[in-house]
Amino acid sequence: MRRLVAVSSCAGLGRGFGSRSGVVGYGVLSAGLVRAAPCCGGGPRRAWLSGSGSRGGGQLWKQQQQQQQRRWLSRTAGLRSQDSTTAPPPPQDTDREAQAPHTSATYPRLTEDGDLDPSVFVGMPFRFDTGIALFAKRTPRPFPPPFLSPPSGSFSDPLSTHDRSRDRRGAYVDGHRIQGYTNGDDAVFASDYFVGANDGVGAWSARPRGHAGLWARLILHFWATAMFEDAARKGTAYRPDPISYLQRAYDQTTEATGPPNDWQGTTTTAGAQLHYRRSKTATEEGQTSNETTFEPLLHVLNLGDSQVMVIRPETREMLYKSVEQWHWFDCPRQLGTNSPDTPRGCAVVDEVPLREGDVVLAMSDGVIDNLWAHEIVEKVCDSLEQWRSGEAPPSRSHQGQGAVGVEGQGENEGVVGQSEKGEGKAMMEFVAEELMEAARVIAVDPFAESPFMEHAIEEGLASGGGKLDDISVVAAICRKNAPP
């Protein structure tokens, strides 16, 4: 397994860093569990939660949306001048309510459902079947203007983007629907070739202009968009560049949430992109390109304490898990307002060889704070065996609980257990749901033993039971793509 480390640990003095508990005080940034050791700077840092406070008022939604679209057009015009080869224009959608008009020829193609079109990844020999399961500790906050479409004037229409991200009005940025799903302050994304889980730092909810859930969702949206755009431009010559994608996502999120909008927040982020390489056998035997066999290769990027884990069900073993990055206990590395952490400075990239049938998990810390690694492996493997033996119980989403876990409401309702999906996707939805439920049971138990409790005690803090938090799971299994 070859590991790539992106530059540094950003060690140095810190002033007023915000932990998830909302504590603001003085401290020292340390490398903690970060595996990248060299320091990339030092000196005093600006307080993450010092912010500019509430500006109040703000411009009308229409004016804000127009300004964002002008910035997008200006930015993409610069991209076109640097690279004359752009992605094919997106298909025309005659239903203007279902999809906002495209403002850029570089924006990747969309499916009829408004999702990023995976066909831009040309010649991929492998793919993911994915499933999502979510539990929110509280109802997600509505997205603010200009990201929320204006009310329609009908009393029967939902007034929150969180009724469902696929709502026909939806949530938009730069004229495009925001990809992924929101779960409390978390956000997730799942596609045939990329999965991700972001954990917005909940302490921002106490700030007048704080919205960690928006930051978490936008980072994933722009990350996935940058990846799909790059694949569309390069075609068969495409090679993943995770750090570049996340840096671009960070810059675009900073711009989108900056003045005149001024929405503050921070988020951890973890994602895994499926690609491939020539197999060792093919390399050793000197096969030509026409007869070369390939093997799947996973590109994992992590910044903070969300986690990507790889499990091999046939041997019931964990092949890989990303390592959490901390400044100190309960204060992970995070991207966003006033944070010193940046993708190019602090993100870590690993390359993990896979086999067909390996399971990849992208999880927020609501899972790993409540379940130990061996429990996650056991639950995933048991769930797969249960499904394949035909003993899987009916989906909880069909029993009225929904995917969010909060009164069966939210934009994610119906994400789990959709019967119209293929067998592989339905299986992974079941796996994700079982893992989410196992973590939820511990999270709400004040007497349970948990990894979070163990870590708190090690820090000299009184703690007991699980950690009630947003729980987000994306489960993916590696499959061979059907030949073209």
Asked whether residue 84 is domain-assigned, the answer is no
**Model pTM score:** 0.74
Question: Residue 354 belongs to what domain range?
Answer: 3-52+71-76+105-152+160-480
* Beta-carbon count within 10 A of 46 CB: 13
In a domain, 313, yes or no: yes
Whether 100 is in a domain gets the answer no
Query: What local confidence, expressed as pLDDT, does residue 237 receive?
Result: 87
Structural domain count, the chain: 1
The residue ranges of the chain whose pLDDT is under 70 are 1-106, 149-169, 281-292, 395-421, 484
- How high is the pLDDT of residue 126? 96
Q: Which residue has the tokens 């499933």?
A: 131
Structure token digits, residue 357:
């049938």
> Is 297 within a domain?
yes
What is the per-residue pLDDT for 110?
82
| CA–CA distance, 384 with 415 (Å, rounded to integer) | 19
CB 222 within 8 A of CB 107: no
Q: Looking at the domain assignment, is residue 57 inside a domain?
A: no
Please give the angle made by the CA atoms of 152, 153 and 158, to the nearest 5 degrees: 60
33 is a domain residue? yes
405, part of any domain: yes
CATH classification of the domain holding 228: 3.60.40.10
pLDDT of residue 112: 75
CA of residue 439 relative to chain centroid, distance:
19
Residue 466 β-bridge partners? none
Quick check: is 386 in a domain? yes
